[in-house]
């Protein structure tokens, strides 16, 4: 009886939030869902020709070689937004910063059209599309976010002040505080491994389960929903475009994300802007990790 009552209240709150989103302007969650669906549709034919030779498409604004699938995903996002008649500034890992419509400063859309492109082209089933909406080109103003695992059809979303969800179900991070039992992601994808390794040796020595799955936006969502207990990227290489959406999902799930010095993360939303961060399930394990990284 009580449970049924709680269910009804939850539905009323959800309905009220949706009504507010629409009343206040745009239902960005709905728009981002449509962008994701279009990305899935547009990249589907390309998934059939994985591992084939690709002509040189140059280097994207974020500094990595562009793949056909990245461009198809990016086009799917901008086309969906344009079909809605929106004015916006598009900040993307691939084509950099572009203005659309008469009032491009109205909305900032920051995207990594495909996060984990190498996984995708090699047939490793772990890649995502990541889209964030903000009022300014600044990380801390992101108010709506979506990161979708395109292979497993799992979508993470967050709206500022409304919590984070995985396939529409509220998520929370783990309560793990024991490093030995924790699953910790560490991105070591760098030619500067010699510089990074001394900082993480103490942590690795105390942790049994170290992972890097190859799509940072999704790995951050894994911290948000308790799949893993922390994710660390101290290479100074990860673009703000790849992190923007997952940042809000982490915050709204009430996980923790800071700089190496324990400061709140903020950045200009620009594909040339690089971030260093430690994201953890809870404050306790976060402090333990920060101390070990300092050592
Ligand atoms: C890459 C992934 C990967 C990380 C690379 C990123 P991309 O994103 O997030 O995990 O190690 O540094 O470039 O290039 O596939 O969008
Ligand atoms: Ca990408």
pTM, rounded to two decimals: 0.91
Domain boundary among 146, 170, 194: 170
CATH assignment of the domain containing 259: 3.40.190.80
Which atom from ligand 1 is nearest to the alpha carbon of 242?
Answer: 16
3 within a domain of the structure (yes/no): no
Residue with tokens 């745009």: 26
Residue 2 lies in a domain: no
Nearest residue (CA) to ligand 1, atom 2: 215
Residues 189 and 162 in one domain: no
Do 199 and 242 lie in a common domain?
yes
Same domain (yes/no): 156, 223:
no
Helix or strand or coil: residue 87?
coil
| Residue 252 three-state SS | helix
Q: Is residue 131 part of a domain?
A: yes
Residues of the chain falling short of pLDDT 70: 1-4, 15-25, 50-57, 62-63, 65-66, 295
Q: Are residues 63 and 158 in the same domain?
A: yes
- pLDDT at residue 55, as a whole number: 61
Q: Is residue 10 part of a domain?
A: no
Task: Evaluate whether residue 200 is within a structural domain.
Answer: yes
The answer for residues whose C-beta is within 8 angstroms of residue 171's C-beta and 6 or more apart is 156, 163, 164, 165, 224, 225, 226, 253
For residue 90, give the 3-state DSSP assignment.
strand
Kindly state if the Cβ of 70 falls inside 6 Å of ligand 1.
Answer: no
Which pLDDT belongs to residue 1? 57
Ramachandran quadrant class, 208 (left: phi over 0; alpha: psi -120 to 50; beta: rest)? alpha
Task: Tell me the pLDDT tens digit for each residue of 272-281.
Answer: 999 999 999 9
Same domain, 81 and 151: yes
Q: What is the pLDDT of residue 5?
A: 74
Quote the ligand 2 centre to 194 CA distance (angstroms).
Answer: 25
Give the structural domain span for 112. 28-170
Task: Mark whether 262 and 148 lie in a shared domain.
Answer: no
* CA 145 centroid distance within chain: 8
238 Cβ closer than 6 Å to some ligand 1 atom: yes
The model's pLDDT over 194-232, given as tens digits with 9 standing for 90+, comes to 999 999 999 999 999 999 999 999 999 999 999 999 999
> What local confidence, expressed as pLDDT, does residue 104 receive?
97
Alpha helices per DSSP H over 24-163: 28-43, 68-83, 117-122
CA distances to 121, 227, 233, 293 from 102, in Å:
37, 43, 38, 47
162, 211: one domain? no
20 within domain boundaries: no
Query: Exposed, middle or buried by CB within 10 Å (0-12, 13-18, 19+), for 160?
Result: middle
């Amino acid at each position: 009886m009580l449970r049924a009552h709680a269910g009804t209240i939850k539905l009323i709150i959800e309905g009220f939030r949706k009504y507010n989103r629409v009343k206040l302007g745009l239902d960005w969650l709905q728009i981002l869902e449509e962008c994701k669906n279009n990305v899935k549709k547009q990249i589907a034919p390309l998934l059939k020709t994985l591992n084939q030779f690709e002509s040189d498409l140059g280097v994207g604004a974020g500094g990595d070689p562009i793949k056909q699938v990245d461009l198809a995903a990016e086009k799917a996002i901008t086309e969906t937004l344009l079909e809605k008649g929106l004015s916006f500034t598009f900040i993307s890992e691939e084509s950099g910063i572009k203005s659309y419509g008469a009032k491009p400063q109205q909305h900032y859309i920051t995207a990594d059209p495909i996060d984990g492109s190498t996984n995708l082209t090699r047939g490793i089933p772990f890649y995502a599309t990541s889209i964030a909406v903000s009022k300014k080109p600044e990380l801390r103003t992101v108010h709506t976010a979506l990161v979708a695992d395109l292979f497993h059809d799992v979508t993470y979303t967050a709206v500022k002040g409304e919590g984070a969800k995985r396939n529409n179900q509220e998520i929370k991070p783990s309560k793990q505080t024991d490093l030995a039992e924790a699953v910790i992601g560490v991105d070591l994808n760098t030619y500067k491994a010699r510089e990074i390794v001394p900082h993480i040796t103490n942590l690795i020595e105390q942790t049994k389960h170290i992972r890097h799955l190859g799509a940072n936006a999704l790995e951050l969502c894994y911290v948000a929903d308790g799949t893993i207990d922390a994710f660390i990227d101290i290479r100074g290489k990860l673009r703000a475009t790849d992190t923007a959406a997952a940042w809000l999902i982490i915050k709204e799930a009430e996980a923790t994300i800071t700089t190496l010095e324990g400061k709140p993360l903020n950045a200009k939303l620009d594909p040339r802007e690089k971030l260093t961060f430690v994201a953890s399930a809870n404050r306790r394990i976060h402090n333990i990790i920060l101390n070990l990284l300092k050592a």
